[in-house]
Every structure is written in structure tokens, then in C-alpha cells.
Amino acid sequence: MKKIILSLALIFFVLNHANAQELKPFQEGDRVAFLGNSITEAGFYENYIWLYYMTHFPDRKIKIMNAGIGGDTAEMMNARFEGDVLKLDPNIVVLTFGMNDSGYFEFWKDNADKTAQERIANSLKNFQELQEKFKNHPEITPVIMSGSPFDESVKIGANNFDGKKETIEKIVAFQEKAAKKNNWAYVDLYHPMLKITEREQRKDSTYTITGPDRIHPGKPGHLVMASIFLKNQGLAGKPVANVQIDTRKEKIQQSVNASTKLIEASKKQVKFNYEAKSLPFPIDSVSSTWGNPHKQHEALAIYPFMKQFNQELLKVENLKKGKYQLKIDGEKIAQFSADSLAKGINLAYLSNTPQYKQAKNVMYLNELRGEIENKFRQYAWIQFNFMKDKGLLFDDSQEALDTANAVKEGFLPSKMGIYQTFRYKEIREMWKENMTKVTNMIYEMNQPKDHIIEISLIED
């Protein structure tokens, strides 16, 4: 009897724990496609994820690819899976949808509930078909990621759609259920972002992690999205470096993720060689798109990004009381008290260090790479949102150009500047080569360098 009970308990344990698939960190050579809608097409959160890898794992070459198209639903992603996503040759696909699947102006009509149920059913049907496509491609590891929230509660004048939030939550629920059933990794963006929204709106009813349209997160929201994804990969708490020096013992007590060599140490001065194996993550201060004025650094006030992902720690104990000058490679960086240095400082907050400047140059190149990639996404938008219905998918002939140029309304005219040249295969190959060159430059530029750090007493 005991054996039967133990066997049943073991089966119960296995069945319950088989549902949770760990989202592993990306490894050398991984080719990751993020399949989504306009929030993905914007390119920010996936660029931030890649920038984290570029700076934190400079020797680990991966490739993250944008497979987002504005306005897409699960149905539209299902329709372009073979013609768009598979052509990118990914070995990992992160699938996210829900914002467009749930609808918009339908919520202003009398039959809103019925329409919402129909949209949920259609989204689920196409998601099930996508699941089968993943199973038919065992070379691809699927990751299911919920979408970000629709901000129904923020007190702003923008159009609201009562009931959309509830509809999205039903989509999020079947996404998670399917991931567990298939034993696929699942990333929940929705609930952590909703929790932040509700917390901040208790302080300020006009706060939103999305933006003026309640839909598209700005750069702070995208940094939070990237952070949640990285946290799911188990990367929170991995320091850029952590160096601790005791001047009394004239010894480097700790050197985590960094090569260090003490040159001199006294109660008034410390000097050492320092080469971290990572770079700090550079924080942008420019607003984004979709008319969203929010800036990336605003995320630091509502999410512990610096604590979780950007710790370049330096701690110096047993210095004489007073004010100290921090220099790196002979350049004055900042001043700190002996007490502050004893508690530890985070160099990643200092944007004038040579390693931060180096990381920022990596960021600039990554942004350029993303801008080039966006041209390909606009080209894909035209192909799958217009040409396909006209029977001109990847036709790219003069007839295709003339057909598209005849349209004067909607989103299409805004993308024609790209299509006029991108319809030529030679142009697309040129931009693809340019993107490869930029990526190669990044993996040359992101290699950590040796620095001399000096801390010296300037005022008792």
C-alpha cells in the first residue's frame, strides 16, 4: 500500500512540475525572433534585451531579430509564420499577441460582449494552429510571452475601451495555459506591469506605464518589459563587477566578474588595475515614438533595474575620514566621502566613466542596427498587410508599386518611401550586409578594457 501511495505521489509531483519550463539564458549562436505586433515592431524591448547581452556577455554572440508587424493579431502572425518568421531562420521564437486580438472600437457598441467573445475564440483558434506549427518545427524552441496591459484606469483624456482589459486577461490566461500544457517557457509581462501601474496610480491617477494612447509603452515601459524577460531568464543579480578593497589589510577582499591587481593602498589612497568582464548598461534619455514623451530613465523610479541588472560595485574600507577624488585612467570622475566608499558605490550610475562611455557607443550602434532592421519590418508590413490580399506577395514589380501608390489613406502611404527602394532585392541585400557590419562592429567595440582606478584624499 505504501508503494502505491508513493508511486501516486511521484506521478502527481512529475505531472505538476512538468508544467513549468525554465526560460534559459540565450547561448552563443542563438538566433531569437520576437514575433509580435506594433509594440514588438517598435523594436525597443528586444533591443534592450540584446543590449544587455552585448554589455554583460561581450563574448557571447547571439542574434535577436524583430519579427513584429504593427496591427497584427494571432491570426495575422499565423498567416505569415512561414513567409516571414521561418525565413529568419531562428532557433528560438518568442511569441506575443493580444492587444489587437482583443479589439478596440467594438467596445463602444451594444454587442461588445458578444464581439469580444468572438475575437477571443478567433485568437485562440489561430494560437492553436501556431502551436501545431511549432511542434512541426522541433528545431525551434517556442517561448510564449503575454502582451503588455491596456491601461483602462489612467485618468487621461484619451479614448478608452471599457472591457478591453478584461478581454486581454482572458487571452493572457489561455496563453499561459497553453505554455504549461506544452511544457514551453512562459513570460508574464501583463501582471507585473499591471501591478506597477496600479501601485503608481494610487499615488498619481495620471500615471501610465503605456502612454497617451493607453496601448503603446514608451521607452520606460519597454525597459521594464526587457527587465521582466531577463529576470525570467534568471539574470537578475548578475553584477557588472563587484570589487571590495580593505586598505588596512592592503588587500583586494573580493573581485567578482573582474580582473584586479592592487598597485598601492593606504588609509589615504588606493590605486589598482581594473578590468571588468562586463560593461555597465547605458541608460538612454531620449523619448520614443507613437507620440510618447516618456524617456527610458523614468523606468528607474518605478522598477529596480539598477539593483537587478546594473551593479558595478566598488567598496573601499578603512579609509581615513574625508572627501576623496575618484579618477579612472587619470581622468577625474567624481568625489565621494570615506563613508560612502566604505558602504560601496555603484559606478554604473556615473555616465562619465570610460567603461560607461564605451557602453554608450555600443548602444548607439545597436540603435543604428535597429533602425536598419525597422526598414525590413516596414517592408514586411506592406507585403503581409497589403500585397498578400492583392495577390502580389513579394511580387515587387512595377505593378505592385503602382497598386500601392494608388492608395492614399491609412498606414500604407507612410511606408511607401521604404517600399520604393526596398522592393529591389539588391537594396535589401545591401542593407542586410550593413546590418551585419554594424553588429560585427558592436562585438569588437564591446570588449572590456583594462583601466587604472585611483581614489585619493583631497579634504580631511
pLDDT digits (tens, 9 = 90+) for 325-334: 999 999 999 9
pLDDT tens across 46-90, in order? 999 999 999 999 999 999 999 999 999 999 999 999 999 999 999
In the prediction, which pLDDT does 460 show?
74
Q: What is the 3-state secondary structure (H, E, C) of 349-403?
A: HCCCCHHHHHHHHHHHHHHHHHHHHHHHHHHHHHHHHHHCCCCCCCCCCHHHHHH
pLDDT tens across 435-451, in order? 999 999 999 999 999 99
In the prediction, which pLDDT does 110 show?
86
pLDDT for residue 2 is more than 90: no
Q: What domains are there in the chain, each with its CATH number? A: 22-232 (3.40.50.1110), 241-277+285-350+449-459 (2.60.40), 359-445 (no CATH)
How would residue 198 be classed by pLDDT, with cut points 50, 70 and 90? very high
In the prediction, which pLDDT does 157 show?
85
- CA geometry: angle at 312 spanning 306 and 315, to 5°? 120
Which residues have a Cβ under 8 Å from the Cβ of 401 and sit 6 or more positions away? 419, 420, 423
DSSP, res 406: T
CB 32 within 8 A of CB 63: yes
pLDDT for residue 3 is more than 50: no
**44-60 b/e with 16+ CB inside 10 Å = b?**
bbbbbbbbbbbbbbbee
Rounded CA-CA distance 421/385 in Å is 18
In the prediction, which pLDDT does 9 show?
43
In the prediction, which pLDDT does 135 show?
97
Q: Over range 367-376, report the average pLDDT.
A: 96
pLDDT tens across 377-394, in order? 999 999 999 999 999 999
85-88 contacts, C-beta under 8 A, 24 or more apart:
85/33, 85/35, 86/137, 88/31, 88/33
Q: Over range 211-240, report the average pLDDT.
A: 95
Mean of the per-residue pLDDT values for the chain? 93
CB 382 within 8 A of CB 301: no
**Amino acid letter, 163:** G
Residue 453's CB: how many other CB atoms inside 10 A?
A: 22
Rounded CA-CA distance 310/302 in Å is 15
pLDDT for residue 100 is more than 70: yes
The angle that helices 219-232 and 44-56 make with each other, rounded to 10 degrees, is 50
pLDDT tens across 6-35, in order? 443 443 344 444 455 889 999 999 999 999
How would residue 284 be classed by pLDDT, with cut points 50, 70 and 90? confident
Which residues have a Cβ under 8 Å from the Cβ of 430 and sit 6 or more positions away? none
pLDDT for residue 206 is more than 90: yes
Residue 266's CB: how many other CB atoms inside 10 A?
A: 15
User: Are β-strands 258-265 and 323-328 bridged in parallel, bridged antiparallel, or unpaired?
Assistant: unpaired
Q: Give which of 384, 373, 422, 385 is closest to 401, Cα–Cα.
A: 422
In the prediction, which pLDDT does 459 show?
77
Residues of the chain above pLDDT 70, percent: 94
CB 176 within 8 A of CB 188: yes
Q: Over range 108-125, report the average pLDDT.
A: 93
In the prediction, which pLDDT does 285 show?
62
Q: Over range 275-294, report the average pLDDT.
A: 80
In the chain, DSSP finds a helix count (H) and a strand count (E) of: 14, 14
In the prediction, which pLDDT does 290 show?
56
